[in-house]
Amino acid sequence: MDPSLAELLDGIGARLRGIRRDRGLTLDDLATATGLSVSTLSRLESGKRRPTLDLLIPLARFHRLALEHLIGAPPTGDPRAHLTPRRSEPRTGNPSVVVPLTTYPSRLQVFKQILGPGDRPPNRVTHPGHAWFYVLAGDVRLLIGDRERLLHPGDTADFDTAEPHWFGPATDRPAEILHLYGPHGDRPGA
């Protein structure tokens, strides 16, 4: 076996243990969440069991990490990010284009969003999490509860998404934002 591959495989157990501990989880917590036994997880973390895809995939899904990030795989050598814009019309009624800037699902998601003007009245939504955004271009109208704010390029917003909210362009022209969203209440810099 290639020595660098052997070194990578030997380090996976300690990496998995570190991820679990950083998130404040016990082996029992992880076993319950993934369906893997405590014994299997313990042997995997201690390096007494070789990692296989049938063990790593449930862990990657639970931790919401891509496999290469879960195991610490070396970069491919191609530094380019391959961004794939998605068109959407969220429940808020405004069409938008979302460009994910994170290449793997994580606790804190980052994306650029181009907000298009809509033809429906604002529809406030709620969902678990925390949002932060920075206005790159255009003007953004932000409604949170019964409060309204007008944001211009360079302004930021920071709010709990459990409170009814809506945001979109303040005019008939699109607006662009850099958007960070933490589904578990994660906040930038917290």
Output the DSSP codes for 92-138.
TS--EEEEE-SSS--SSEEEEEEEPP-SS----B--SSEEEEEEEES
Q: Please provide residue 88's backbone torsions phi and psi, each rounded to the nearest 5 degrees.
A: -150, 160
Query: Is residue 95 located within the same domain as residue 156?
Result: yes
Each residue's pLDDT, cut to its tens digit, for the chain (190 residues) gives 778 778 888 889 998 998 888 888 899 999 999 999 999 999 999 999 989 999 999 998 888 777 777 887 776 666 666 667 777 765 556 678 888 777 655 567 788 889 988 777 888 888 888 889 999 999 999 999 999 999 999 999 999 889 999 999 999 999 999 988 776 655 555 4
Indicate the residue among 13, 40, 71 that finishes a domain.
Answer: 71
Q: Which residues of 159-168 are buried (b: 16+ CB within 10 A; e: fewer)?
A: bebeeebbbb
- Domain of 95? 86-182
Residue 129: predicted pLDDT: 82
Would residue 187 count as lying in a domain? no
Structural domains counted in the chain = 2
Would residue 190 count as lying in a domain? no
Kindly state the tokens that stand for 163: 């409170």
Kindly state the tokens that stand for 77: 């050598």
Query: Is residue 52 located within the same domain as residue 97?
Result: no
Q: Please provide residue 78's backbone torsions phi and psi, each rounded to the nearest 5 degrees.
A: -100, 105
Query: Is residue 91 located within the same domain as residue 60?
Result: no
Return the biggest CA–CA distance within the chain.
63
Q: Which residues of 13-39 are buried (b: 16+ CB within 10 A; e: fewer)?
A: bebbbebbeeeebebeebbeebebeee
Of 68, 62, 70, residue with least CA distance to 34: 62
The rounded distance, in Å, linking the Cα atoms of 86 and 104 is: 15
Would residue 98 count as lying in a domain? yes
The CATH number covering residue 92 comes to: 2.60.120.10
Would residue 174 count as lying in a domain? yes
Residue 89: predicted pLDDT: 62
Q: Is residue 59 helix, strand or coil?
A: helix
Query: Is residue 55 located within the same domain as residue 99?
Result: no
Query: Is residue 21 located within the same domain as residue 107?
Result: no
The CATH number covering residue 17 comes to: 1.10.260.40
Query: Is residue 31 located within the same domain as residue 109?
Result: no
Would residue 108 count as lying in a domain? yes
The rounded distance, in Å, linking the Cα atoms of 186 and 107 is: 7
End-to-end CA distance of the chain: 42
Would residue 36 count as lying in a domain? yes
Query: Is residue 93 located within the same domain as residue 178?
Result: yes
| CA dihedral sign of residues 117, 120, 121, 123 | negative
Q: What pTM did the predictor assign?
A: 0.56
